[in-house]
Structure 1
Amino acid sequence: MPTRTRHGRLRAVASALAGLLLVGGAASPAHADSTRSQQWYLDAMHAEEMWKITKGKGIKVAVIDTGVDPTNPDLSGQVLDGLDLAPASRAGDEHTDYEGHGTGMAGLIAGTGAYGGGNGSFGLAPGVKILPIRVPAETEDNMGFGRPAYLAKAIRYAADAHAQVINISMGSAVTDADLTAAVKYALDRGSLIFAAVGNEAEKGNALVYPAATPGAVGVGSVGKDLRRSSFSQYGPQVDVAAPGEEMVHACGGKTGLCKSRGTSDATALASASAALIWSKHPTWTNNQVLRVMLNTIGGPTDGAKRNDSIGYGIVRPRIALQNPGDPGPADVYPLPDLKAAEKTTSPSADASASQGAGAPAKGDDTGGTASAGKDSGNSTVWVVVGVAAAGLFAAVVAAVAISRKRRRQLPPPPPPGMPMQQAPYGGWQFTQPGPGSGAGPQSGPYDHGGRQ
């Protein structure tokens, strides 16, 4: 979810609670000589080193988003036929990206760099195939309240299509039992779900689903300094983190190249990380792939098992490929939230009001719905307000509006040896995050010779 509040303005106080949070990012022009030289996160994660082992071949990643454009040069040959859940009023199908966001996420995952004879943008796992599933925009699904139904249907389709990894770089501030059941269905079918936790940390920090749904892996964003991005939402729903700032990647539109930031981007890199590991170990189950990701992660430095800023830590697929350790039991989900949710007989009254009846949220290791947590990376208190939240939500329903985000495009990179020219932006306008400090620095997730 780059920090883009896509396509529009914040129209009302309630959008953080009841609108769709299609988490996007801010954009600015690139000035380096090549696209690849701007992709700092690939250097930090030692992409070329990993690509000597695997590029993700044999893995299918479902991208539940705004569509994926298969004509983008960096995605040529990477995009399969999928499913279109957008209304008939939307032109095209799942291969028609109505905002460019889905193509951007696919580019971060599977971009091949083919543009300009190899001068394009690369994804972290350029050997995977993308299964596009297009879902409606916020204004087409009852102001966000219809979002769980579309996401549930998309997740079930992806699982039935045997997508090992399901990437959801979007979300909803409301949920229901169908979405919770769909996540569990996908896990039972052998898939892994990675979902963005949202970009409204400074604007309410509300829970976003399915990132907060038990069984989905909630992904937060970090920058080059390995701190939680100021926009990245925090709390018990955060399981892992990945780079999500100054991201350069393929996208839709005239130029086919964008720069963005957000937990959307971080989610795409987490999905690609899982794809690389799974490609190297195709006989592993979803539980084993996730367990190895967690076992090799760059964790918090405060001595805790996890914190609410980056969860259990920053993904390190290179370490997982080199020294994965014991993948553990094939049939046991490694995160505690799923078992905790199964022990919960019914949600609390507050949870029912703000999340939807029968739809538990992630909690701590002992079970229960989402509870107050501490943003240990920022030394600030994260409080889930019970009765007050329910009252606010009721007021919000009366005046709900949608926060949407748009991203600016970059001009296409010049041929090698030619300087990059700054060109006018086309069609994207991002909301920049406000000032704020991230979490405390995390030690050594990427040992990349000092390049952060």
Structure 2
Amino acid sequence: MTPTRRALATTLALTTALATAPTAARAAETPQYPWYFDTLRVEEMWEHTTGEGVIVAVIDSGVDATLPELQGRVLEGIDLTAAEAGAHTDTSGHGSDMAALIAGTGTGGGMQGLAPGAFILPVRTIVDRINFSGEERFSDGIAYAVESGARIINISQSAGVSEEELTEALALAARHDVLIFAGTGNTGESDNRVAAPASFSGVIAVGAVNRDSEHVPYSSYGPQVTLAAPGNDIPGHCDNLSGPVCVREEGGTSSATALASASAALIWSQNPDWTKNQVLRVMLNTAERPDDQRRDDFTGYGIVRPDRVIVDGEGDPGDPDSPPIFRDWEAALVSPATPEPTPETTPDDSAEPAPGPEAEAAATSDDGSHLPWIVGGTAAVLLVGLTGWLLLRRRA
């Protein structure tokens, strides 16, 4: 953990200690108590953790920090759009809804999130649902989130991205032990395809299911799908951010992604010493599946069930350094080994001086490439042998 991340963790832990975790039961089927709260046994989970101390970056349209349910939960963040209106500006409401699904407190009749103790780091990369800011800013958003201490990055959007730039950003996140969740997209009923960035290695692609744990038709599917989460009948601002919240009958993989990110925040908060590999591994091996099949292209390894980890203690975190998926991809990310430091020695006047530029030049071929030592050694042996043979010939 870097000094910056340690400082952030200490500050956030002190701040969170002052917050009151929601524990009172609420009426079912409301924005403060949606249907999946019973399925996931949220009241029992909150007796163990509410996601405190975990920073979740929301790369989206910004997050309105003045919403009652988000007050005190939103960090400063950054605006990477050309508008430069600030990370707390959200003209579409999409980013704010995702943030509230993750860390909303339900205060003032607002949305209740799954991990109300977590902190939101807003990274504004789109002005609204149509006008994206561009490829470079999107990758920069991931880099900013990593450097700002986020442990989880939520991307409830898709866009055309530069493969090279995004791959570099994803590699940075992997090296810094950061989990990235992204929605598969909502094209399952039309030109189905898992959209970027969910289609990239290193990104946990999240599909959507309904209250019957069934894949919803609009949720994009394919071999990239890793997990699924509720996507229908989800709380949100149904008019605009200034209006009341409601329960939306049909949502999308955006909401499912936010709930998957919140699930990871709860697990990581309870197990702060785990690595991203361990958090993801227990999410995969405790996911709910309707059959014995290990995975499919619609719900991946199953539907997120953080309660099984937090309440029941299920799931084996396993090797902290071994990725449960993306093994080959992560193996290729190993940084070059750091050169061993030169050992300190006592100066010895009798020792031969280090070879200078001339000596180095003499040890290279005409094209500048170093010759293998065995070639030089063989040449020397041959030269000595030839000289001896000539001497013997002269004496004969």
Normalising by structure 1, report the TM-score.
0.63
What is aligned with 1:254? 242
Cα distance change on mapping 1:317 and 1:34 into 2, 3 Å: closer
Please give the per-residue CA displacement for 1:279-308, whole angstroms capped at 9, x wherever unaligned. 00001111111111111111351x332100
Q: Take 2:284 and 2:113, find their aligned partners in 1: how far apart are those partners?
A: 22
Deviation at 1:340, TM superposition (A): 5.3
Using the alignment, how far apart are the partners of 2:244 and 2:307 within structure 1? Answer: 29
User: What's the secondary structure of 1:36's corresponding residue?
Assistant: coil
What is the identity, as a one-letter code, of the residue corresponding to 1:231? Y
- Of the three residues 99, 108, 129, the one matched with 1:106 is 99
Amino acid at match of 2:301: Y
- My pick for the range that moved more, 146-155 or 236-245, is 146-155
Separation in 2, partners of 1:218, 1:130: 20
Aligned length: 302
Aligned counterpart in structure 1 of residue 38 of structure 2, from 43, 65, 68? 43
Of structures 1 and 2, the one scoring higher in RCO (CA 8 A, sep 6+) is 1
Change (3 A) 1:34 1:247: closer
Runs ≥4 in structure 1, deviation > 6 angstroms? 341-344
User: Which residue of 320, 324, 342 corresponds with 1:334?
Assistant: 324
Give the corresponding residue for 1:4.
Answer: none
Tell me by how many angstroms 1:173 deviates: 4.6
Are 1:307 and 2:302 counterparts? no
* Bigger mean CA offset, 74-83 vs 256-265: 256-265
Q: Does the 8 A contact of 1:288 with 1:330 survive in 2?
A: yes
Structure 2 residue 254 is the aligned partner of structure 1 residue 264:
yes
CA distance in 1, matches of 2:74, 2:244: 15
Q: Is the 8 A contact 2:81 2:137 kept in 1?
A: no
Give the SS at the match of 1:187: helix
Query: Matched residue of 1:130: which SS?
Result: strand
1:177 aligns with 2:177: no
User: 2:31 & 2:55 partners in 1: Cα distance?
Assistant: 25
Instruction: Give unpaired runs (5+ residues) of structure 2.
Output: 1-26, 334-396
State the 1:33 CA deviation: 8.6
User: Secondary structure of 1:183's match?
Assistant: helix
Structure label with greater radius of gyration: 2
Alpha-carbon spacing, 1:341–1:78, altered in 2? closer, same or farther (3 Å)? closer
Q: Shift of residue 123 of structure 1?
A: 0.3
Q: CA deviation at 1:163?
A: 0.4
CA displacement at 1:149 relative to structure 2: 2.1
The within-5 A match list for 1:24-423 is 34-37=30-33, 39-88=34-83, 92-115=85-108, 119-137=109-127, 140-141=131-132, 147-249=134-236, 253-260=241-248, 261-301=251-291, 303-321=292-310, 322-335=312-325, 337-339=326-328
One-letter amino acid of the counterpart of residue 226, structure 1 = S
- For 1:256 and 1:131, locate their aligned partners in 2 and report how far apart those are by CA, in whole Å: 24
Post-superposition CA distance 1:133-177 (Å, at most 9, x none): 001347655xxxx74322211011101111011000001255411
Structure 1 residue 334: deviation in Å? 1.1
- Cα 1:332–1:32 shift into 2, 3 Å: closer
Change (3 A) 1:49 1:289: same
Q: Contact between 1:107 and 1:250, CA under 8 Å: does it hold in 2? A: no
Q: Distance in 2 between matches of 1:132 and 1:50?
A: 25
Q: CA RMSD in A?
A: 2.3
Whether the aligned pair in 2 keeps the contact of 1:239 and 1:310 (CA below 8 Å) is yes
- Counterpart in the other structure of 1:363: none
CA distance in 1, matches of 2:244, 2:87: 17
Letter in 2 for 1:316: R
- The alpha-carbon distance between structure 1 residues 323 and 209, as it changes in their structure 2 partners (threshold 3 A), is same
**Contact residue 102 and residue 261 of structure 2 kept, 8 A:** yes
Percent same amino acid among aligned pairs? 46
Contact 1:219 1:266 in 2 (8 A): yes
Paired with 2:140 and 2:322, the residues of 1 have a C-alpha distance of 25
Displacement of 1:59: 0.5
TM-score (norm 2): 0.72
Q: d(CA) in 1 for partners of 2:294 and 2:30?
A: 40
Please list every run of 5 or more consecutive structure 1 residues that lacks an aligned counterpart in the other structure.
Answer: 1-30, 345-452
Does the 8 Å CA contact 1:72/1:250 hold for their aligned counterparts? Answer: no
